[in-house]
Chains A and B, each alone.
Chain A
């Protein structure tokens, strides 16, 4: 998929300055006493036909990000443009006709499929909601979708509990495909599956992308699987993007100290390498997003922390073409006071020497 890099690519999803704060309340009157900053000013693009991997540890805001982009939550601030339309502040009526183009595959196929509906009912529900197909047309479409995801047509009248985890995830994928979407958010689609089944589902997602020209946001904590499926990868930490880069560049030469530590923490399935390898072990835990540290969010655990990190939040800057890093180590200008959003004017070629 990298060979498309030379041709000018169209941005399908553009996210700018996105913030999602959840209120923290206390007392009988549920008075608001603070915010959980699940997403704190994040910006990125997803190009048509690519897979953007979104990785990070639990609580970093990656799932919230996927949900806000599809407007399952109302963002606190920022804009989301999908296919040129800003849906960040759109109301429900404006959103509804846009929904078929953007779909979601959820983590837990057990919880995201209604146990009282048959497979045909589950896959056909989006067709009921958004199209005027006749019964026969609908059934044809359901069969077509079941074939596409590798489910036996004869099982159309069965219930979700009669299927294994991997097959259930295929049902979820078929439902997401029903309305010919352009963009699918896959929120940890393989986390609940066994290793041998994970590969089946990932290969299916890749096949479908090639056949239907889909664009994915692939959210996962599994760095090795993201390396396999993604074209570009964004690393999140505590509600902010730490690094965003093309896949090979990120895995071969991680730049943000957090990315370095994260990759170092993944054990290698090879005892020769594993016994000899030097690891970066981070101390401590992720701070609470309700009370993030002043300055860089990673400064409490960073092995290369400097004075400036304790007071100034680093902005996400493009330091090489296509490589964005939010870290003071890579800032060439001395006065790096900007804590604002990485606006387009910052995305220039400055600092490309690093």
Chain B
């Protein structure tokens, strides 16, 4: 990826809090990252680590209340999306920033045809008339590999299989030729052979269209095959960020290391015993004043109780939020 290029999306110090009856939950705590043109940024973390909430916050998709986006800035196309008007946001969402969600059944409207739903953003955002929108919708279905596209425009979502529905979702997200595509666990609900089809499609589309993609997942295998750069989240914070090969070859954060070691594989050596990360992920009732991972960390030291580690650079494009220094230790044994 071109390192010097101006980022298409620049997020600084994003904070999101949910107000609940049990008090506040600090779901996103000072998250900063940027997205460069044409790159695919993988976001990994367990449920509750704040990966989806981060992406929903920056485009204003969280209902408020209970959500409260408290601080930070999201620069996109020269505007701060957190400070701009709702009208402006609406012109960005679905047009210049596209979304794909996890479950294609619940994110498509069952009472409208697929064609109508693809044509909707084309007519709203691009101002196309009905005929032109239909032509473009057909092209889009072709693009995402749905056979017999012309006829299928008049079908309803339930007439499509899970994988085909996800292709429709991708077609809708791509309809207005977005600069940024945010994909939230887009293959998690799919079977592996269908997931392989969708991953192949995304690889093709990236070459053809060249938009920047944020890909949220908990599957490290998917990340390994598709991402250029990876951001690991834990407790609503970015704990490590690195180019994909660097992250897998030289992970620095104890959480990243543990995560990589807990995953069994279908190839290569089979581990006799699975490695385990003991304990549970935290629920953050307050802004973290200490490291969120310390309770489950094998390298925790007194300092981790007192201070929340800031991200520090450890290599080209590689930074980590941890005080511990692995030194020369080989991480596979460490």
Q: Which residue numbers of A lie inside 8 Å of B, CB to CB?
A: 57-58, 164, 166, 194-200, 202-203, 221, 223-225, 227-228, 248, 251, 261-275, 279, 281-283, 285-286
Q: Is the CB of B248 within 8 A of A271?
A: yes
**Given A196-B259, A266-B221, residue A281 in contact with residue B196 (CB < 8 A):** yes
What is the number of contacts between chain A and chain B, taking CB atoms within 8 Å?
A: 124
Q: Is the CB of B47 within 8 A of A270?
A: no
Task: Report which of B197, B218, B221, B270 forms a contact with A228, defined as CB distance below 8 A.
Answer: B270
Interface SS, A side = helix
**Chain B residue at smallest Cβ distance from A288:** B161
Q: In the bound complex, what is the Cα–Cα distance between A264 and B196 (angstroms)?
A: 9
Task: Report which of B46, B163, B200, B266 forms a contact with A224, defined as CB distance below 8 A.
Answer: B266
Judge if B34 is at the interface, Cβ distance under 8 Å: no
Q: Is the CB of B280 within 8 A of A164?
A: yes
Q: Is the CB of B191 within 8 A of A268?
A: no
**Given A203-B273, A267-B219, residue A57 in contact with residue B248 (CB < 8 A):** no
Judge if B286 is at the interface, Cβ distance under 8 Å: no
Q: In the bound complex, what is the Cα–Cα distance between A285 and B163 (angstroms)?
A: 8
**Given A57-B191, A268-B224, residue A224 in contact with residue B280 (CB < 8 A):** no
Task: Report which of A197, A223, A271, A272 forms a contact with B266, defined as CB distance below 8 A.
Answer: A223
**Which 7 interchain pairs have the tightest Cβ spacing?**
A267-B221, A274-B225, A265-B196, A57-B191, A269-B220, A196-B277, A199-B274
Apart from A224-B263, A261-B193, list 13 A-B contacts with CB within 8 A: A196-B262, A199-B262, A199-B277, A200-B276, A221-B192, A224-B264, A263-B266, A267-B222, A268-B225, A268-B265, A270-B224, A274-B225, A279-B196
Q: Which of B257-301 contact A (CB under 8 A)?
A: 258-260, 262-267, 270-271, 273-278, 280-281
Q: Is the CB of B195 within 8 A of A196?
A: no
Query: How far does the Cβ of A215 sit from chain B's closest Cβ, in whole Å?
Result: 20
Interfacial chain A residues near B227, Cβ < 8 Å: 271
Q: In the bound complex, what is the Cα–Cα distance between A351 and B192 (angstroms)?
A: 31
Judge if B158 is at the interface, Cβ distance under 8 Å: no
Q: Is the CB of B245 within 8 A of A271?
A: yes
Task: Report which of A197, A198, A223, A279 forms a contact with B200, defined as CB distance below 8 A.
Answer: A279
**Given A195-B218, A199-B276, A274-B225, residue A58 in contact with residue B191 (CB < 8 A):** yes
Q: Is the CB of A266 within 8 A of B192?
A: yes
Q: Is the CB of A262 within 8 A of B224?
A: no
**Chain A residue at smallest Cβ distance from B244:** A271
Q: Is the CB of A203 within 8 A of B224?
A: no
Q: In the bound complex, what is the Cα–Cα distance between A272 and B222 (angstroms)?
A: 13
